[in-house]
Structure formats: C-alpha cells, structure tokens
Amino acid sequence: MTAVVPDALPDVLAWLVIVSFVATAALERHDRKTARTVGAGAWVLFGIFWGVLFPRFAFEMKSFVEGALSLAAVPLCVYAGYQLYSGRDTLFVLSRAVAAMGIIYVPFSSVEFLRQWLVELVSYQTNFVIEALGYNPEFTIAKENGYHSAFIFTDETGHSYYTYLVLACTGIGSMSIFGGLIAAVEAPLRRKLKAFAVAISIIWLLNVGRNVFIALAFGNQWFQYFVDPIMSTVGYADPGMVSFFIADRVLSQLLAVVALVGILWLVLRDLPELLTVVEDVAYLVTGNEYDLHRTVRTDGGR
C-alpha cells in the first residue's frame, strides 16, 4: 500500500516555490542578506516539492527515470539552499532561472484554455505526422480531459490500444527550463533571443517526434519483450502495456535526458554566460569546483 498525495498539495507547493524565488530575485539587487535567507527557504521548499512528487512519478506513473531524478533533487535543492545562505552568490542566477521557469510554466498548468490550446495543438501535429507515415488511428476526444488528444489503434483481432496526450506531452516543461535559464543570465537581448529560438524549436520538433513514436509503438505493440518480468516489476495487469512502458518510460525518457544535454550545448554556444549555472550544478552534484569559463576560453584559443 502506498500513501496517496492530495492532488492540491503539489500545486500549492509549486505556487509557494515560485513566489519565494520571485521574492528572492526582487530582493537580490537591494538586500542580498535578506535575499540569501529567502532564497535558502525557497530552495528547501523546492526540495520538499520534488519529494512530494516522487511517489507520483515512481508509483503512479511508473517512471523510474523521473522518480530517480525527483528523489535526487531533494537533497540537491536543500544543499543549494545551504550554499546560497552560506554566501555562494552565483546561485542567485540559478534561483532567478527557477523563478522564470515557474512564470513560464504555471499559466499553462493553471489556466484551462491555455492548457487545452497547447495540448490540442501538439495533438493535431502529432496526428498529422502519424498519418503522413501511413498510419490511420482514430483521433478523438480523450475521456479523461475532454481534449481532442486521444489516439486509438485497433489490431486485426479488434483489440484497441488507447493513448492520449496531457500537458506533460507538450514539451512545456523542457521549454520552461531553457526559457528560465536564458531569461536569468545577463547577456545582450539578441543573443538571448537566438538561444531561445534554437532551444524551443528543437524541443518542439523532438517532442512531436516523441509523441509519434510512443503512440505508434504502443498502438502497434512494437516492444513486447520481457513481458512477464516487466509486468511483475511495474505492476501492469495488461500485457500490452509493456510496449508503452518500454517506449515511453524507458527509451523516450532516457533519450530526453541526452537531448536536453545536447540542446544545452547548443545554447551555450550563444550564451556562454550559462556556464555559471553549469558550474554551480556540477559543484552541487560532485562537491568539486570547476572553471568552465576558463576551459572554454582555452579551447577557443587553440
């Protein structure tokens, strides 16, 4: 038996986190001592937020990748708060980035017509690509959310495989991350806009491709491998869900991590100012200091 987290708790924590980080950014230029204290609290709240989401990712969504990342984020966020409070002022950049990420993401998660518009836009694009590849699932309204975002594939025996898109399938999370990072650094607007355009366009295309891949893999049962071990480990009652699990929870999510690293490398070419954030994250993870600015300058001079 697992404890059930009230649906409202993550939303309340998300708002508290955003308000705290926005307050930190507002205080930073005028009262750094107070900003450090508020920022440290914001980071601790952020850690609690990820801890609350861990059961949902790991047990409800059965996502080992997201579950592991959310669990790892708990001590990292608390440690970031401690380091900021202790005087590591470069973490103000990452704090501003989190504030901007929330400002970008929350309207789509909280405002119904924005969420529906985005989910249905991505759904129609996903269906367009699926049909262009020669497949013809039933593209219909999802009973779970009322959006035109469901795909139903039916095999020769008449068995149907049903998937539907939600907000997480739109790529808004990844777009918010890069939007927040780009907004947080001090750099010429021209370079920031170029970096933003590169990141968002790549994420959008890759995300539609990801949706197409998952819908086709599940609808056509491409990955019916290790069915019994996966069912017993994950807890699925329907053997057909194994293809969905491998396509989405394993392959797509692992490749998404690789893709985000690659996109970050492309963005860094236009915004080397983001190396400060990378250095801070590397320090939080490893405990070692890195001077990536110097490395980039050295490599660039060869």
265 vs 1, which has greater pLDDT?
265
Mean pLDDT of 175-196: 95
Of the pLDDT bands very low, low, confident and very high (cuts 50, 70, 90), residue 29 is: confident
Residue 62 confidence (pLDDT): 79
Q: Where are the alpha helices (DSSP H) in 224-291?
A: 227-234, 241-244, 253-270, 275-286
Residue 5 confidence (pLDDT): 42
Mean pLDDT of 34-63: 92
90-141 pLDDT, tens digit per residue, is 999 999 999 999 999 988 988 899 999 999 999 999 999 999 999 999 999 9
Residue 300 confidence (pLDDT): 43
Can you tell me the distance from the alpha carbon of 47 to that of 73, in angstroms, rounded to the nearest whole number? 6
Domain boundaries, the chain: 1-110, 112-270
63 vs 298, which has greater pLDDT?
63
Phi (first) and psi of residue 259, to 5 degrees = -65, -40
Mean pLDDT of 278-282: 93
**Phi-psi domain of 166 (left: phi exceeds 0; alpha: psi -120 through 50; beta: other):** beta
242-268 pLDDT, tens digit per residue, is 999 999 999 999 999 999 999 999 999
Could you tell me the two tokens for 129? Answer: 């690509």
Q: Show Cβ contacts of residue 294 under 8 Å, excluding neighbours closer than 6 positions.
A: none
State yes or no: is 210 an active-site residue.
yes
Mean pLDDT for the chain overall: 90
Residue 58 confidence (pLDDT): 82
Does the pLDDT value for residue 148 go beyond 80?
yes
- Is residue 21 a contact partner of residue 80, using CB atoms and an 8 Å limit? no
What separation, in Å, do the N-terminal and C-terminal C-alpha atoms of the chain show?
59
Of the pLDDT bands very low, low, confident and very high (cuts 50, 70, 90), residue 296 is: low
Mean pLDDT of 2-28: 80
State yes or no: is 297 an active-site residue.
no
Can you tell me the distance from the alpha carbon of 235 to that of 15, in angstroms, rounded to the nearest whole number? 33
Residue 237 confidence (pLDDT): 84
Cα separations (Å) of 158 from 23, 26, 152, 153, 224?
A: 56, 59, 11, 9, 18
Helix (H) or strand (E) holding 99: helix 91-110
Does the pLDDT value for residue 299 go beyond 70?
no
Residue 9 confidence (pLDDT): 80
Catalytic residue among 36, 96, 115, 210: 210
Residue 7 confidence (pLDDT): 63
Does the pLDDT value for residue 60 go beyond 90?
no
Helix pair 172-184, 253-270: axis angle to 10 deg = 30
Residue 295 confidence (pLDDT): 63
